Amino acid sequence: MTKNTYRSGPDIEGRFGKFGGRFVAETLMPLILDLEKAYEASKNDPSFTREFDDLLSEFVGRPSPLYFAERLTEQLGGAKIYFKREELNHTGAHKINNCIGQILLARRMGKDRIIAETGAGQHGVATATVCARFGMKCVVYMGEKDIERQKPNVFRMKLLGAEVVPVTCGSQSLKDAMNEAMRDWVANVDDTFYIIGTAAGPHPYPELVRDFQCVIGNETREQIMTKEGRLPDSLVACVGGGSNAIGLFHPFLDDDIDMYGVEAAGHGVDTDKHAASLTGGKPGVLHGNRTYLLMDDDGQIEEAHSISAGLDYPGIGPEHSWLHEAGRVKYVPVTDGEALKAFQLCTELEGIIPALESAHAIAYVMQLAPTLPTDHIMVMNLSGRGDKDIFTVAKALGAEI
């Protein structure tokens, strides 16, 4: 008998409760079944795990530190706050953990052409990086609007040898980049592997991306035991697709720990400019999975808005939808303005410039920590660094660079 656990999903149909699944064109079905087989085999192959672990330590620079944010803790005057420093990884975010895992799968499956979608460019850069490292051809789809607002990352990808294809259809942002990547995949089934950047898409992607990102939570568990001799009381992470959050949360789901996923509320969840799919959306089917989505009454997907390009997506990973309905994780909205304030506070107090995505998590820590006692231990995932965002922040603050 299986014990009562939040960690056993997905089932054999690729579902977390009613969420997830395999809503893809028939052309892609044999490919994702092959991927599922290859992934299952890799799990039982010690040489795969060894190579993954070696690359994470030697190429990515893991483990990432669990850092006591002393001045922020003092300033907020409540819970003791730790940052899981994913922004110190090679390429500056958690995205690389997943890319290492997926490119090893691609090689195992004999594929030598990699495609990816990207919003802010962090996943594109991480994908281009592993492609350079493994000598594979790399094509990254990116909305024309995002190419315009993330020029440094576009140039980085090109330096790494990737072809960056502008996507001009639809809203020209992340969801359209994903549509275009799927069109490429359907037309290049023989040699192409699609490295999806978040814990979403058709089964087995939500599962395998989560598993590759679980290194975040697994390390956190060991590190906090060393530092505090006990598990934390709460975890906080931002959620777009939700890969950094699920990577931190999943290893702790069966422990008595409060968890908060922070969604991008843009101009506010009561406006039409936000990206909070759990707070402001409803269940639907897009990009291979059933999950919460932003849409109109007729089932047409709506454009998301967030100051953070990495959270600017109208959906969320299916496991988060399930954890939301199960009540295991609390999902809360943070606006552009709140994230900007948190961005500044973290930079000034801790000497760390956070990604705007991670600044959403910090903003919620700022709300929550002061209400908690000083012996409450809180771990927040500092999922990415903010160098890429300085132009956006300068513009929002009315400064000139």
What is the contact surface with another protein in residues (CB under 8 A)? 13, 21-31, 169-170, 175-176, 179, 182-183, 186-189, 284-288, 290, 293, 295, 297-302
Whether residue 334 contacts residue 265, with contact meaning beta carbons closer than 8 Å, is answered with yes
Please give the C-alpha separations between residue 258 and each of 15, 84, 255, 374, 379, in angstroms, as whole numbers: 24, 16, 9, 16, 11
Judged by beta carbon, residue 101 or residue 202, the one nearer another protein is 202
For 120, counting Cβ atoms within 10 Å of its Cβ (0-12 exposed, 13-18 middle, 19+ buried), the class is buried
Catalytic residue, from 95, 111, 145, 388: name it. 95
Catalytic residue check, 64: no
Q: Which is nearer to another protein, 295 or 356 (CB)?
A: 295
Q: Which two tokens stand for residue 366?
A: 């700022």
Smallest gap, in angstroms, from Cβ of residue 294 to another protein? 11
**HSE on the CB side for 39, CA within 13 Å?**
19
Query: Minimum CB separation from another protein for residue 341, in Å?
Result: 34
Please, which residue, 301 or 366, has the CB nearer to another protein? 301
Rg over alpha carbons for the chain, rounded to the nearest Å, is 19
From 64, 234, 321, 383, active-site residue? 383
Distance CA 225, CA 135 (A): 39
Q: How far is the CB of 205 from another protein (least distance, A)?
A: 15
Is 361 within 8 Å of 308 (Cβ atoms)?
no
| Catalytic site includes residue 383 | yes
The smaller minimum CB distance to another protein, of residues 293 and 379, is found at: 293
For residue 117, indicate whether it is catalytic: yes
Which one of the listed residues 117, 180, 207, 350 is annotated catalytic?
Answer: 117
Distance CA 277, CA 358 (A): 17
Q: Least separation, in Å, of the C-beta of 270 and another protein?
A: 21
Angle at 289 between CA 198 and CA 105, to 5 degrees: 50
For residues 18 and 227, which CB has a smaller minimum distance to another protein in the complex? 18
The span from the CA of 181 to the CA of 187, in Å, is: 10
CA distances from 82 to 198, 336, 344, 360 (A): 24, 23, 18, 16
- Per DSSP (E only), the strands in 240-359 are 258-264, 282-286, 288-293, 330-334
**Residues 72, 346: Cα–Cα separation, whole Å:** 7
Q: At what angle do helices 122-134 and 151-159 cross, to 10 degrees?
A: 10
Taking the complex as a whole, how short is the minimal distance between the CB of residue 14 and another protein, in angstroms?
8
Nearer to another protein, 216 or 286 (CB): 286
CB of 16 to another protein, least distance (A): 15
d(CA 299, CA 5): 33
Closer to another protein by CB, 225 or 285: give it.
285
Kindly state the smallest distance separating residue 182's Cβ from another protein, in Å: 5
State the minimum distance, in angstroms, from the CB of residue 25 to another protein: 5
* Nearer residue to another protein within complex by CB, 285 or 394: 285
Residue length, the chain? Answer: 401
Closest CA to 381 of 121, 64, 97, 52: 64
DSSP summary character for residue 57: I
Residue 371 per-residue DSSP state: G
User: What is the set of active-site residues?
Assistant: 95, 117, 383
